[in-house]
Structure 1
Amino acid sequence: MAHKHQSDLYKFHRPRINLRETPNPLKEESKACLRRLALYRSKPPKLKFPRSRCAAVLVALFVGRMGDLYVVLSRRSASLRSFPGDTSLPGGKVEPQDRTIEDTARREAFEEIGLPMDRHKAPLLCVLEPFMARDQLIVTPVVVLILDNTLRPILNRSEVTSLFSHPLAAFLSSESPFPHDPETTELPYHSYDDINWRWGRYSQSGEKERKIRMHRFLTGREAGGVKPVFGLTAAILIEVATIGYAQEPEFEVEAPDQPSQFERIVCAMKYTEHFREAQREEGLDPDKVPDPAKFRDHSRRRSNRRRRIRSRL
């Protein structure tokens, strides 16, 4: 069976959201955050990704009682083979029936936590540029706003143990949003590790090894066994918060000379065998993937686009 053209995955309807319809009144900063996210438009990928290596996660936001924005997070089942017990966003790989990457994110959220696929109850805000997940999958975040506060989760217990929420703005801060929690006073709310990038010397021999910064945020539920928000999930939520609140985090997001997400994607497609095999199976030529070094300034271009959004409000 021929695979659907990869670019079809990245076609979306333009969202129209009435912010007066939210279940709880919004703070002004929350209104501005949602407007910026709704204005954000990621550029279509410059390369054709192999569909079998594409995945999506749903960043489901909702309005709290005091008008702040929260994101829905899940605790993965301890019986899963990959990342058991981790704190994550609902998501998974593209399936043959998915017409767009938005369909993938919504389907996975429905299957994992029972979030209805009705786009009126959770309209699309934006789709971010893709992230590289440990050289295995190209993961695209899809951001929606839950407008129906009567929704109740239906957990697929084989995949998800529990659900909880976290303030979106807290992913820009070094200070805990739970200042009176004994667990968060003994440990730093935010921390990070810089890990070696596997393909850090692809462009020329003798190049200094490059690092990727992996962030960690406490959830305030660690005493109950919930793991911190870490790695890819943390990176995605930092990006969503940075776009929405139009401010940089209080900490350095990237390690010095850190490869951009797109540079990492291109590198995986060019050098990783499972990506090369997937491309060949879908009629793509991995030998035509460009030199990843051409995309070393991709993060800077993304930052410039965020600044243009700020100037429009």
Structure 2
Amino acid sequence: MAALSPASKKALANLRAFTPQSTNFYKLPLARRAAVLILLFADRKGDLRVVLTIRSAGLKSYAGQAALPGGKADSLQETPWMTARREAFEEIGLPMSDDKLPSGYSVEHLTELPANLAMTELGVRPCVAYLKAPMPSSDNKEPNVAKDILPKLDAREVAAVFTAPFYNFLREKDVDPKTRETSPGEWYKGSWHSWHETAWRMHQFFVAVSPSTVFLANAKPSPRERKDLARETTEEKMPSKSTNSTLQPPLPRSFYAITNDALRQPRYRVFGMTARILVECARIAFGENPEFEHNADFGDEEMIERLLQIGRLSSVKKEGETLTRDVMMQAAKAKLS
């Protein structure tokens, strides 16, 4: 593997030096805690790439969508880093300790980002890590990070795992000229939408994939199963509509639909909270703002704190309970401690 590029070295240094604000994550009950892993590694050019998954069509939440490895906490004693590592082990087979990685590999915990509030009313703490590969062996054979680490998938949770150029999450077009020439479609689309009366930038990235950057799980649901699950999950994830919204309306139901041949597309769509987290992480790493419009803040710490102040995000979610406009207006008036 080539040595890290100067930009990659600086990005990792910036992430190591980043100290997030105090978090409300630990104020949340266990049922509301989750974490994701932003796993970075260097490609053969020394540029950073990030690991992503396509969630299984059999899952109840976000089925068939691109996501970072992650999930809910198992106990109050489990830190976000522990949750992220455990979930990455269960989903993509990333060992939880360096001594169980292939010889010469190691995982460095770089930092953690402010918590985000998911539509499912979870506080999600992003944990950033760097997967370091060994130097070439005596026979000059270079290690292949993706091939050595990633293809161990749990098909019950993950339909595919793929990698994307990390720096590109700050750009409107593919940085690599060859990708622009050979991969149909565009890299970025974005627009402002209303999320409970808050202006929220919806990023959509379309990651070009190839046999060297994507790995499919063996077991796949039938097309009919994917269609049925797509219908079920899109109905439960849709934001509630507000006829009095002063912003653009919520995204249409079709936006969340899963196409039957999603895994056969030349580009995989990364959007929603996952896209926002990657943009925020890239902003910190490279010390740049993106070329496109974006939310200036990082995470949803204040929103989470305000909701906790009015008694929301409790350990038990009541039937039909959603974050409506009235709830968010009440939270906006709450006095922060």
Higher RCO (C-alpha under 8 Å, 6+ residues apart):
2
Give 1:276's match in structure 2, choosing from 314, 322, 331: 314
Alignment counterpart, residue 32 of structure 2, candidates 38, 53, 76: 53
Point out where structure 2 has 5 or more consecutive residues left out of the alignment.
99-104, 134-144, 210-261, 318-329
Paired residue type of 1:251: F
Q: Which amino acid aligns with 1:265?
A: I
Separation in 1, partners of 2:82, 2:157: 19
Where does residue 102 of structure 2 map in the other structure?
none
- Number of matched residues? 248
Q: 1:238 aligns with which of 263, 279, 282?
A: 279
State the Cα deviation string for residues 121-148 of structure 1 (Å, max 9, x = none): 2110111111111151000000111113
Match for residue 116 of structure 1 among 88, 95, 99:
95
Equivalence for 2:295 = 254
- In structure 2, relative to structure 1, the CA distance for the partners of 1:62 and 1:80 (3 Å cut) is same
Q: TM-score, normalised by structure 2?
A: 0.67
Output aligned runs, 1:1-313, within 5 Å.
23-45=1-23, 48-96=27-75, 99-119=78-98, 121-134=106-119, 136-148=121-133, 149=145, 150-177=148-175, 178-184=179-185, 188-198=186-196, 200=197, 210-221=198-209, 224-225=264-265, 227-254=268-295, 261-270=300-309, 273=312, 275-278=313-316, 292=332
**Which whole-Å CA distance do the structure 2 matches of 1:45 and 1:81 have between them?**
28
For the structure 1 residues 55 and 70, does the alpha-carbon distance in structure 2 shift closer, same or farther, using more than 3 Å as the test?
A: same
Change over 3 Å in CA distance of 1:196–1:176 after alignment to 2: same
Counterpart Cα distance in 2 of 1:151 and 1:99 = 24
1:262 is displaced (CA, Å) by: 1.9
Over 3 Å counting, the alpha-carbon distance change for 1:295 and 1:160 in structure 2 is: farther
Q: For 1:67, give the aligned amino acid.
A: G
Superposed CA offset, 1:18-59 (max 9, x none): xxxxx5301101100000001111133257222320100000
Distance 1:102 1:115 in 2: 13
- The whole-number CA distance in structure 2 between the counterparts of 1:238 and 1:37 is 13
Q: CA deviation at 1:98?
A: 5.1
Aligned-partner Cα distance in 2 for 1:295–1:219: 42
CA-to-partner distance for each residue in 1:53-98, whole Å, 9 max, x for gaps?
A: 0100000000000010000011111222211111110000010275
Percent identity between the aligned chains?
A: 34
C-alpha distance in 2 between matches for 1:44 and 1:97: 18
User: RMSD between aligned alpha carbons?
Assistant: 2.8
Distance in 2 of aligned mates of 1:86 and 1:52:
22
CA deviation vs aligned residue, 1:166-214 (integer Å, no higher than 9, x gap): 0000000001242113422xxx42112322222x3xxxxxxxxx32111
SS of the residue 1:123 aligns to: strand
Checking the alignment, whether the CA contact within 8 Å between 1:260 and 1:295 is kept in structure 2 is: no
Secondary structure of 1:37 counterpart: helix
Distance 1:243 1:259 in 2: 10
Structure 1, unaligned runs of 5 or more: 1-22, 201-209, 280-289, 297-313
- Opposite residue 72 of structure 1, the aligned amino acid is V
SS of 2:111's equivalent? strand
Q: Could you tell me the TM-score, scaled by structure 1's length?
A: 0.72
What is the distance in 2 between the residues matched to 1:295 and 1:125?
Answer: 33
